[in-house]
Amino acid sequence: MSMSTFNEEDVLQALRVVTAPHMSIDVVAAGMIQDVTIEGNDIRFTLDLKIPPRTVRESLEASLQKALADHLPDLGEVTIDATVNIPASGDVSKSSILPGVKNTIAVASGKGGVGKSTVAVNLAVALAKSGARVGLIDADIYGPSIPLMMNVHEQPRAYKEGEKTRLLPTENYGVQLMSIGFLIKPEDALIWRGPMASNALKQFLTDVDWGELDYLLFDMPPGTGDIQLTLSQTLPLTGAVIVTTPQDIALADARKGYRMFEKVSVPVLGIVENMSYYICAHCGERDEIFDYGGGRRTAEELGVPFVGEIPITSQVRVGGDKGVPIVELEPESPVTQSFMDAAVRMAAQIAEKNLTQPSSPNIDISLG
C-alpha cells in the first residue's frame, strides 16, 4: 500500500473552508464529516447531513470535492458516503410529551391576513419533498384551514391503548396532519372559551400518535393569545417562524409576535415575508404591490435570520382552494422554489441551534 502525502487532519483542514449549507459554521464544526479513511492518496468519508438532503446534497458534495482538490496535492479518488442525521432539540422534558418528535416549530403571525396557513402548509410539504418526516398541527382551533388546504376531510382513526383512546393522524402529500376540522362538520362553528380551545390543542399533543418525526409544525392562530401561551407553556418549542407581509402595519405586528416569543423564551428561527411581490401570470413581470424588503429589514432590526421571501401568484390561491399546495401543484415554479429555499433555510437554523446545545440521540438514515 502506497504512503499518503496527507493525513486525516489535513483532510479536515481542507474541508473547513466549506460552510455548512445556510449556516454560519463550517461542515467540520457542524459534525458533518465523519469516518475519514485514507488509502494511498484516495479518501473516503461520510457526509452526515443535518438538514433534509434533496435540495443540498449534490451541490455540497461538489463543494467538498473542490475544497479537497484545491488544498491537497496529488489527490486521488474521493468517495463520499451520505447519511441524514437531523439533530433533535436538546430539551429533555419534551420526550415525555412527544417522544418521537425531534423538533417542534410554531408558524405564527402578529395579525391575520398575511397568508400564514399558506406558508405553514407549503413549508411542511416542502420539507417532506426534501426527504424529512413531517407533521402539521392546525392550532387555529376557531378557524381551521388545514382540511381544505391539504384536501383531507375524513376523521382520524382511533385505537385503544389500555384505558386511553389514541388517534392516528391523517396524511397527505407526505405530511401527517391533525386539525379540529377533522372532528367537526365543515359548517359548524366552535363557540368555545379560551380554556376549551387550549385543551383541544393539548390533546393534539398527548392523544395523537405522531410516531417518529423530524419536524412537527404548528399552524398558529394570528395574534398573541391563549393558544400561543398554551403551546409555549405545554411544550418546549424548538423555535418559531414569524410570517409577515411587506406593509408597515403587518411588520409592526410581526415585531409584537417576536416580543411575545421572546417573553416566553421561544427562539425565533426567522422571518418569512409572504406576498413579497407579484408575478404576472401573462407577462411574468414582477411588481412590488405591497412595498418591498420590509421583512428583511425587520429581521435585521430584531437580529434574527431572514428565512425567505414568497411571491404572490394566482396559482397559490388556486392551489389553496383546490387543496393542492403550490409546492405540489407546480413543483418547477418560481414560487415553489421560494418555498423550498425557505424550508431548507429554516431547517438549517434548527440544525445550527441544536448543534450548539446538547441533543438527544438520533437515528442515522443511510442514503443510496
284-313 pLDDT, tens digit each: 666 666 566 778 888 888 899 999 898 888
CA distances, 101 to each of 229, 299, 313 (Å): 20, 28, 34
pLDDT value at position 181?
A: 78
Could you give the percent of the chain with pLDDT greater than 90?
A: 48
Cα gap 4→23, rounded to integer Å: 32
* pLDDT score, position 365: 40
Predicted local confidence at residue 182, as pLDDT:
81
| CA 260 to chain centroid | 21
pTM over 0.95: no
Confidence of residue 137 (pLDDT cuts 50, 70, 90): very high
pLDDT of residue 285: 67
Could you identify the residue written with the cell 451520505?
82
Mean predicted confidence (pLDDT) in 334-350: 94
CATH number of this structure's domain 8-84: 3.30.300.130
Q: What is the pLDDT of residues 50-83, one digit of tens each?
A: 999 787 889 999 999 999 999 998 899 999 999 9
Cβ neighbourhood burial of 367 (10 Å; 0-12, 13-18, 19+): middle
Higher per-residue pLDDT: 133 or 54 = 133
The pLDDT tens digits for 203-219 are 888 888 999 999 999 99
What are the residue ranges spanned by the domains of the chain?
8-84, 92-360
Q: What is the mean pLDDT of residues 240-259?
A: 84
Would you state the pLDDT for residue 153? 87
Of 235, 304, 229, 268, the residue nearest 91 (C-alpha)? 235
Average pLDDT estimate for 135-150:
88
- Measured distance CA(201)–CA(139) in Å, rounded: 6
Q: What is the pLDDT of residue 75?
A: 92
What is the reported pLDDT for 345? 95
Identify which of 155-169, 246-260, 315-329 has the greatest average pLDDT. Answer: 315-329
Return mean pLDDT, the chain. 85
For the ranges 78-87, 221-230, 248-257, the maximum mean pLDDT occurs at 78-87
**Assigned C-alpha cell, 18:** 466549506
| Average pLDDT score over residue span 107-112 | 82
- State which fold the 92-360 domain adopts: Rossmann fold (3.40.50)
Q: Which of 145-154, 159-168, 218-227, 294-303 has the lowest mean pLDDT?
A: 218-227
Greater model confidence, 34 or 224: 34
**DSSP character at residue 20:** P
pLDDT at 368: 41
Q: Which residues pair with 101 in a beta bridge?
A: 213
Is pLDDT above 70 for 88? yes
% of the chain exceeding 70 in pLDDT: 85
Contacting residues for 263 by C-beta, under 8 A, at least 6 apart: none
